[in-house]
Amino acid sequence: MSSFSRFTPLINSLPTTIPFIGPEAIERSRGLKVKARIGANENGFGPSPKAIAAMEQAARETWQYADPENYDLRVALAAHLGVTPNHLNVGGGIDGLLGLIVRMIVLPGTPVVTSLGGYPTFNFQVAGFGGRLVAVPYKNDHEDLEGLLDAVKRENAPLVYVANPDNPMGSWHSAEKIVAFAKALPETALLILDEAYGETAPAGSIPSIESLIDLPNVIRTRTFSKAYGMAGSRVGYAISTPENANAFDKIRNHFGMNRIAIAAAMAALADRDYLEATLTRVKSARDRIADIARANQLSPLPSATNFVAIDTGRDGPYSRAIVDGLMEEGVFIRLPGVAPLNRCIRVSVGPEADLSLFEDALPRVLRRLG
């Protein structure tokens, strides 16, 4: 059966694309079972027990829509960040917020600047609105801030995306460099500063709220998916000026959040002790992944995230063979998708049992590859 005849030309022109193939799809297509799920940048240590208890309680109220203003969570976040609730908007993870931001800015043909090999879901959102991606290569495994700024000016681009810390390489820039980059942008260029991994970043890498809060051409995005261990709940938030936050209200799905996720996010935000304990576990797991890499003559890159990129010393096909070989062993990892970044494999933090499976399987896979 053919498709409907009046889809837009844009929709008809786009390929069927999934930014990330999930482990479930790999299990279905290859008839394999994932034993260690350490490839999707999830936090395998899970959410706070207080968040779980809040979800259990909120489940009894799930017959009700969530507050369309997400007021209580915005108030809690505002107190946590030192801003007003009017500086904030809540959405279905950073991915959902990216889609809304792109929708605000991008028309067919609009130039949008990003890093070559950077977060593919952002590229997916830009393509879905007909934007024209202008990709700047990484420099020494970091997003090239000077190159991005030059591209914005050259293309007169109204939108630029930077992740700090970075996905997929785990690298980071200092807060000073990020603030200088934001202030050097033309006023007509909006910066999406993706801080999904902000909690796992070292001191001095995340700009203070005060340093950027008054800039109308900066929107910062954060999430409960990583450090808070709630990727499946889909709760993200944007920090910007009140006027920008109000722009979200013009187009967002006001009933798009669910009560269970909102309750969990509020409980997780309040449980600082659990967050600190999780961050300690994340660092320990990163160190162990790095040790496993070095024990197998591979080179771990410094990481400020909940994953470690590991340089295989070869090329993309070799890295892909490692990923596929590990999957045969039940160990799910990923690799960056674009050369030269794809000389690396990428391993997410997880419980000791999962990392032990990785430690056991990796040398066998490398021996088979020769």
Mean pLDDT of the chain: 96
pLDDT in tens, 52-93: 999 999 999 999 999 999 999 999 999 999 999 999 999 999
Taking residue 209's Cβ as centre, other Cβ atoms within 10 Å add up to 13
pLDDT at 1: 57
Q: Give the residue extent of every domain in the chain.
A: 9-46+273-369, 49-270
12 pLDDT exceeds 70? yes
Are the C-beta atoms of residues 187 and 219 closer than 8 Å to each other?
no
Which residues are CB-neighbours of 362 under 8 A, at least 6 positions away? 292, 296, 322, 326, 331
Q: What is the mean pLDDT of residues 185-193?
A: 98
Is residue 25 very low, low, confident or very high in pLDDT (cuts 50, 70, 90)? confident
* Residues 299, 29: Cα–Cα separation, whole Å: 31
At the topology level of CATH, where does 49-270 sit?
A: Aspartate Aminotransferase; domain 2 (3.40.640)
- Which residue in 149, 143, 95 sits closest to 123, CA to CA? 95
The string over 25-60, giving b where at least 16 C-beta atoms fall within 10 Å of a residue's C-beta and e elsewhere, is ebeeeeeeebebbbbbbbbbbebbebbbebbeebee
The per-residue pLDDT for 55 is: 97
Looking at per-residue confidence, does 279 or 22 come out higher?
279
Q: Which of 336, 337, 338 is nearest to 347 (CA)?
A: 336
Which of 18-22, 43-47, 239-243 is predicted least confidently? Answer: 18-22
Strand order in the sheet with 307-311: 299-300, 307-311, 344-348
Instruction: Give the number of other CB atoms < 10 A from CB of residue 147.
Output: 17
pLDDT-based confidence at residue 22 (cuts at 50, 70, 90): confident
3-class SS string, the chain = CCCCCCCCHHHHHCCCCCCCCCHHHHHHHHCCCCCEECCCCCCCCCCCHHHHHHHHHHHCCCCCCCCCCCHHHHHHHHHHHCCCHHHEEEECHHHHHHHHHHHHHCCCCCEEEEECCCCHHHHHHHHHCCCEEEEECCECCECCHHHHHHHHHHHCCCEEEEECCCCCCCCCCCHHHHHHHHHHCCCCCEEEEECCCHHHCCCCCCCCHHHHCCCCCEEEEEECCCCCCCHHHCCEEEECCHHHHHHHHCCCCCCCCCHHHHHHHHHHHHCHHHHHHHHHHHHHHHHHHHHHHHHCCCEECCCCCCEEEEECCCCHHHHHHHHHHHHHCCEECECCCCCCHHHEEEEECCCHHHHHHHHHHHHHHHHHHC
- For CA atoms 302, 307, 312, 315, the dihedral sign is negative
Q: Band the pLDDT of 221: cuts 50, 70, 90.
A: very high
The percentage of the chain sitting over the pLDDT mark of 70, rounded to a whole number, equals: 100
**Peptide bond preceding 165 in cis form (omega within 30 of 0):** yes
The confidence score (pLDDT) of residue 220 equals: 98
Instruction: Kindly state the tokens that stand for 323.
Output: 């990923």
Q: Looking at residues 313-339, what average pLDDT do you find?
A: 96
Q: Say what the pLDDT of residue 74 is.
A: 98
Mean pLDDT of 272-290: 98
In this structure, the number of other CB atoms found within 10 A of the CB of residue 188 comes to 10
pLDDT at 2 over 80: no
Query: Smallest Cα–Cα separation from 142: which of 293, 304, 319, 292?
Result: 304
As a whole-number percent, the residues of the chain with pLDDT over 90 amount to 92
Superfamily of domain 9-46+273-369: Aspartate Aminotransferase, domain 1 (3.90.1150.10)
User: Hey, what are 302's tokens?
Assistant: 């410094």
* Position 18 confidence tier, pLDDT thresholds 50, 70, 90: confident
User: Nearest-CA neighbor of 54 among 263, 204, 348, 228?
Assistant: 263
Q: What is the pLDDT of residue 67?
A: 96
